[in-house]
Amino acid sequence: MAHPSPDHRPGRSPSGTHFPTGWFTRRRRPATARSVLAGEAAAEAARKSTQEAPAAAEALDETPREPEFPVVGDTSAAAFFDLDNTVMQGAALFHFGRGLYKRHFFHKRDLARFAWQQIYFRLAGSENPEHMADVRNSALSIVQGHRVAELMSMGEEIYDEYMAERVWPGTRALAQAHLDAGQKVWLVTAAPVETATIIARRLGLTGALGTVAESVGGVYTGKLVGEPLHGPAKAEAVRALAAAEGLDLSHCAAYSDSANDIPMLSLVGHPYAINPDSRLLKHAREHGWRLRDYRTGRKAVRVGIPAAAVVGALAGGAAAAVALQRRRR
C-alpha cells in the first residue's frame, strides 16, 4: 500500500516545517445575522464613498469649470467661424493671389501689392476698412473676365499649395467639436464665397458665407453684389441664415479674431475671441467672453513691433516674390 510522501503529509509544509493541522481541517463558520449586517454596512459605505469622492474633489478644486459645450444633440445650435487669422493664419485672399500669380493671372507689380497688404495685415493684426477695400479692389480687378468654374478649379489646387498648412489646429478642433455634437458649422468671411466654400468643404464644414462677386454667363464682371461681407454685414448674414435654418442664436457660437466682428459675436450666446486683436481682447475681457490664442509671439504685436521684425517681414515678402518670379521663368 502506497503511503504519501513525507513532504505532502498533513501538518507538514513542502520544506518540512510543522504547523497545526487545524488550519486545513477547521470547518467554515456559517454566516450569522451580525456578519451579514456587517457585510451589508461595509458595501453601502463603499458605494457612498465612491459617489461622494467626485463631489469632494470638485469642492476642493477652486478653479471655475466651464459648462459642457457644445451641447451634444442640440440641433438648434450652430457655429460661425471667421476665416482670416481665426481659422487660417493670414489672409485667404493673399494666399489665393499667390496661387493665381503662379498661374500667370497677373503681373509682378500686383504680387508686390498683395505682399505689402499681407505684411500690413500680419503686423497690424487687425482689419482696417480702407486696407480691406484695397485688397477687395485688387482681387476684383484680377478675376474680371475669368470664368467662375476656372477659378473654382484653381482654388482647389491653391488650397493645397498655400492654405492647408496654415489652418490653426486649435480652431479646427473647436469646429470639429461642434460637428461631433451634431451641429452645423459655417465660415463667415469677407473672402469671395467661392474661395470660402472650397476651404469649408476641405475642412469638412457645413458651408460658407462670403462676399459675392457678380458674374454674367459664368464670367466675373469685376463688380460685387452688394458690399463685402465685413463687420455689420457678417452679423446680418448670420441672422438671416439662422432664421432660414431655424436656429436659436442664444444656443449658437461665433469665433473671430477681429473687433470688426463684435456685431456678429454679440448676436450669439457663446462668443469666442480667437487670436484676438487688442480691441477685441479688451472687449472680450470686459464682457466675460471666452478667449483662445493659438499664436506665438502674440505680445510682440500688441506691445509694438521692433524695427528688426519689420525689416524681416519686408525681406520675407520680397524673398517670396523673387522665388515665385524664378519659378515662373
Active site residue 82: yes
What pLDDT is recorded for position 32? 64
What pLDDT is recorded for position 210? 93
Residue 40 Cα to chain centre, angstroms:
51
Rg for the chain, CA atoms, rounded: 33
**Predicted structure pTM score:** 0.65
Q: Look at residues 161, 185, 160, 213 and name the one whose alpha carbon lies nearest to residue 75.
A: 185
What pLDDT is recorded for position 228? 83
What pLDDT is recorded for position 195? 92
Active site residue 84: yes
List pLDDT tens digits, range 318-328: 333 333 333 33
Catalytic residue among 7, 61, 74, 84: 84
Query: Is residue 259 within 8 Å of 283, Cβ to Cβ?
Result: yes
Task: Spell out, as residue ranges, where the chain has pLDDT lower than 50.
Answer: 5-15, 17, 19-25, 57-61, 63, 121-123, 125, 298-329
Assign 287 to helix, strand or coil. Answer: helix
Query: Is residue 269 within 8 Å of 249, Cβ to Cβ?
Result: yes
- Is beta strand 253-256 parallel, antiparallel or unpaired with respect to 78-81? parallel
Other beta carbons within 10 Å of 111: 21
> Nine-digit cell at 326?
524664378
Architecture of domain 78-328 in this structure: 3-Layer(aba) Sandwich (3.40)
Cα separation, 293 vs 275, whole angstroms: 4
93-110 core/surface letters (b: 16 or more CB in 10 A; e: else): bbbbbbbbbbeebbeeeb
What pLDDT is recorded for position 22? 47
What pLDDT is recorded for position 127? 54
Catalytic residue among 7, 61, 74, 82: 82
What pLDDT is recorded for position 239? 97
List pLDDT tens digits, range 274-297: 999 999 999 999 999 999 999 875
Assign 65 to helix, strand or coil. Answer: coil
